[in-house]
Amino acid sequence: MSGFFQRLFGKDNKPAIARGPLGLHLNSGFTLDTLAFRLLEDELLIALPGEEFTVAAVSHIDLGGGSQIFRYYTSGDEFLQINTTGGEDIDDIDDIKLFVYEESYGISKESHWREAINAKAMGAMTLNWQEKRWQRFFNSEEPGNIEPVYMLEKSRKSKPCQMGSP
C-alpha cells in the first residue's frame, strides 16, 4: 500500500533509465526501414536482417577526447553501433552501423584467440569473401597489416524476469 502512495506522490525509488543516443536503452526497441535494401535484394551478398529489434544488452566505450561508442546488442545476432563526438545528442552522432554476424566460431584456447585478433588476421589490406576481393577502407594509405586497437567495453544486459518479481 505504501508503494502506491509513493508512486502517487512522486516518490518512486526506481533509478532513471540510462538513455543513450537516439533515446535507446536496455529493453527498448527500434525499427529499421529496409525498403531501399529490399529493392536491391538480388544484388546483396548477405541476407537482410529483420526490421524490428529489442535491445537485450548495452555497452559503452569511451575513446577519449569526447569520442564514444555506444552499442545496442539485440536479442538476435545483431548490434547497432552509434559513434559520437562531443555528447550524446543527435547532432553529436558521427556514424551509425548495424552489425549482423555472417558466421561465428567458438574460441576455447588463448592461443587461438591471439591468432584470431592479430594484425595479419584482422588488419590485412585485402579480404576475400563471397568470391569477391575487398579493399581495406580504414587507414587505406598505410601499407601492410594494421594492428588491432584495443578498447575497454563496459556492458550491461537485461535481467531475466522471474515469476512474482516486478
Burial class (CB in 10 A: 0-12, 13-18, 19+), 149: exposed
Q: How many domains does the chain have?
A: 1
Predicted pLDDT at 3: 65
How many Å apart are CA 51 and CA 38, to the nearest integer?
11
Least reliable range by pLDDT among 29-38, 73-82, 92-101, 138-147: 138-147
Range of the domain at 80: 2-106+151-157
- Identify which has the larger pLDDT, 48 or 29: 29
| pLDDT score recorded for residue 149 | 85
Say what the pLDDT of residue 165 is: 44
Q: 34 lies in a domain?
A: yes
Domain presence at residue 163: no
User: What digits encode the pLDDT tens for the residues 110-144?
Assistant: 999 888 888 888 888 998 989 999 998 888 888 88
119 lies in a domain?
no
When the pLDDT of each residue in the chain is averaged and rounded to a whole number, the result is 87
> Cβ neighbours of residue 143 under 8 Å, at least 6 residues apart?
125
CB of 74 within 8 A of CB of 50? no
Q: Tell me: the pLDDT tens digits for 48-93?
A: 888 999 999 999 999 999 999 999 999 888 999 999 999 999 999 9
